[in-house]
Structure 1
Amino acid sequence: MTNESVQKTVLGDVEVIRVVEWQGPFGPAADIVPGAGEEVWRENEALLAPDHWDPASGLAVMALQSWVLRSGGRTVLIDTGVGNGRERPESPQFHHWRGDFPGGLARAGIRPEDVDVVVNTHVHADHVGWNTREGGAPGEWVPTFPNAQYLVPAADDAHFGKAGGEDRLVYADSVAPVHRAGQAVLWDGHHRIDENLVLESAPGHTPGSSVLRLASGGERAVFVGDVLHSPVQVLRPDCNSCFCLAPAEAAATRRRVLGRAADERELVVPAHFGGTGIAEVRRAGAGFALGEWRGADGDGGAPELH
């Protein structure tokens, strides 16, 4: 897959559009999923490389992407990337980032004013950045999507709203302006968007981390945000990413989400998987295995992981 790509598929009555802003080696795999030993990566080298892992460098391959759902006559945007021109001193890869997220939406036929609902699965820098854009005055940030309702997990809003350091910067430029514009809606537990889509709390990665479930026309999918960062975590669900704030809770949530996906045949759609971006999960003994990969263009057929 190339950078800045757009792919589409349909699940039931819902059109699913994948907008990839960037994809490539991100950081050492041993640092991103520190609990997974190198042997797990090596045993699955033929399947992880090159879409999820670069064996030569040991770097995990990841994507910066968003998902757009056209459901019930409305346009729903899941997560909004890093945003441009942000002060992120603790995250060099995102500091003063310059990408073309609006261009990706445009290539998918979506204007900012077309978006009806923005879902922030959680309040991390790479999931809320394009909530806002630069306004007319220096240092002014205004909502990028003027007609949208922004769904923000209440627990994350409370946590990051009083955080310090870079988390405070993220909240100040990407979440607080949405509140000031009167477009933020806080929720907890469950929040139904329409007859096809429902948000559910999935805490651990952050206090308010959430997943979005799609059920339409006999087809199901779960957009899991950062419950998963790598396919290795399907094989080793007790292994958290280095970004999880509550490790025990994150691992329990991961097992629960994967178990339901396997039992109810939900496609699993993580925020940062490279390759085709959509996976089938099934139970394997006491754990889980990946079945076929399915692309946002409807293709599939890659072999399973071990």
Structure 2
Amino acid sequence: MSTSPTTDSIDSTGAPSWTVGDVAVHRVDEVLLPPATGPWLLPGATPDVVTGQGWLHPQHADAEGVLRLDSHSFAFVLDGLRIVVDTGIGNGKERANPAWHDLDTDYPRRLEAAGFPPDSVDLVLLTHLHADHVGWNTRRAKGTWVPTFPRARYVTSRVEREFWAGYAMDEARAQMFRDSVLPVEEAGLLDLVDVPEGGAQLAPGLRLLPTPGHTPGHVAVELTSRGETAVITGDCIHHPVQFAHPAIGACVDIDPVRSEATRRALLGSLAGTDTLVLGTHFAPPTAGRVVAHEGAYRLASVAPR
């Protein structure tokens, strides 16, 4: 794999991909998130904090310290299983966040162009049940929401689903469950997995890693092939600025203290290794390795092949 940074954009043709052993991991783009996302989502990532990390510019932040984030899925084939990790925001969904409301993107075309038409997908792995990670779980057909991936098992952690089952949801979150989670559940396609401290192996080379805090049952996804490893972060890390400042948390973290502890533990375990880190909201370049930097860490970008 090349170690030079890339400047590929959300509108690039094809699906950028990285090689992990025998596996090609594709980034399937949905939408760039607007500049206002950073200050809302990561309020501790002030312009002074961001511009103080020169390595973030220009790919991960602009010269004024405005963070760059986007929404995408990852897709790969492992041991014959066709797998999609997280399903973005979705089209035509009623959302309180204006940047997510009633989208009309080319995500389905991009997914198919990457070689993953919905009918071919075997597993959909959901790192957690937030609106910007479950949206393409479903699509509208004849006025109702139906599973986008009709042959797939949708997998998330048991702790995650049970937490939200007992949570006093506001209307916006209840709407998200009605259009993007319950139809999958009602179709009998949602599988709940117990994820112990050491992780849950779903298939050879595929593990869910417990990364709680952002939500109680949040998981990261670990992929291993021919001695090479990649980790898809979900929202335990939203942006590379958190490599340098792991204490910066998201405004929507359910348990901020636990979220920080999880982030520090994950970064510490990956620092100095060859593990490829793939950020679910990292703008291009989306992948890299964790290296020690000024008492914390930075992301050493790895370009798509």
**Distance of aligned partners of 1:31 and 1:83 in 2 relative to their CA distance in 1, 3 Å threshold:** closer
Counterpart among 124, 128, 131 of residue 122 in structure 1:
128
**Distance of aligned partners of 1:103 and 1:49 in 2 relative to their CA distance in 1, 3 Å threshold:** same
Q: Secondary structure at the match of 2:35?
A: strand
Paired residues of 2:244 and 2:293 also in contact (CA < 8 A): no
Query: In the alignment, is residue 149 of structure 1 matched against residue 177 of structure 2?
Result: no
Q: Secondary structure at the match of 2:163?
A: helix
Q: TM (normalized to structure 1)? A: 0.89
Q: Which residue of 2 aligns with 1:231?
A: 240
Shift of residue 273, structure 1, vs aligned partner: 0.5
Q: Which residue of 1 aligns with 2:40?
A: 31
Q: Which residue of 1 aligns with 2:72?
A: 65
Paired residues of 2:34 and 2:99 also in contact (CA < 8 A): no
Counterpart among 264, 284, 303 of residue 295 in structure 1:
303
Q: Higher mean Cα deviation, 163-172 or 279-288? A: 279-288
Q: CA–CA distance in 2 between the matches of 1:115 and 1:182?
A: 16
Q: Secondary structure at the match of 1:10?
A: strand
Paired residues of 1:50 and 1:61 also in contact (CA < 8 A): no
Q: Which residue of 2 aligns with 1:3?
A: 10
Unaligned runs of 5+ in 1: 298-306
Runs of 4+ in 1 over 4 A off after TM superposition: none
Unaligned runs of 5+ in 2: 1-7
Q: CA–CA distance in 1 between the matches of 2:180 and 2:45?
A: 33
**Mapping of residues 1-306 of structure 1, within 5 Å:** 1-5=8-12, 6-23=15-32, 25-27=34-36, 29-45=38-54, 47-56=55-64, 58-88=65-95, 90-136=96-142, 138=143, 140-161=144-165, 162=167, 163-189=169-195, 190-262=199-271, 264-284=273-293, 286-290=295-299, 292-297=300-305
More relative contact order, 1 or 2 (CA 8 Å, 6+ apart)? 2
Q: Secondary structure at the match of 1:61?
A: coil
Paired residues of 2:50 and 2:56 also in contact (CA < 8 A): yes
Q: TM (normalized to structure 2)? A: 0.89
Q: Secondary structure at the match of 1:220?
A: strand
Equivalent residue pairs, number: 291
| CA-based RMSD | 1.8
For residues 104-156 of structure 1, the C-alpha deviation after alignment (integer angstroms, 9 at most, x for no partner) is 111112211110000011111110000011122x2x21110011000022222
Q: Secondary structure at the match of 2:302?
A: strand
Q: Secondary structure at the match of 1:122?
A: coil
Aligned-residue sequence identity (percent) comes to 36
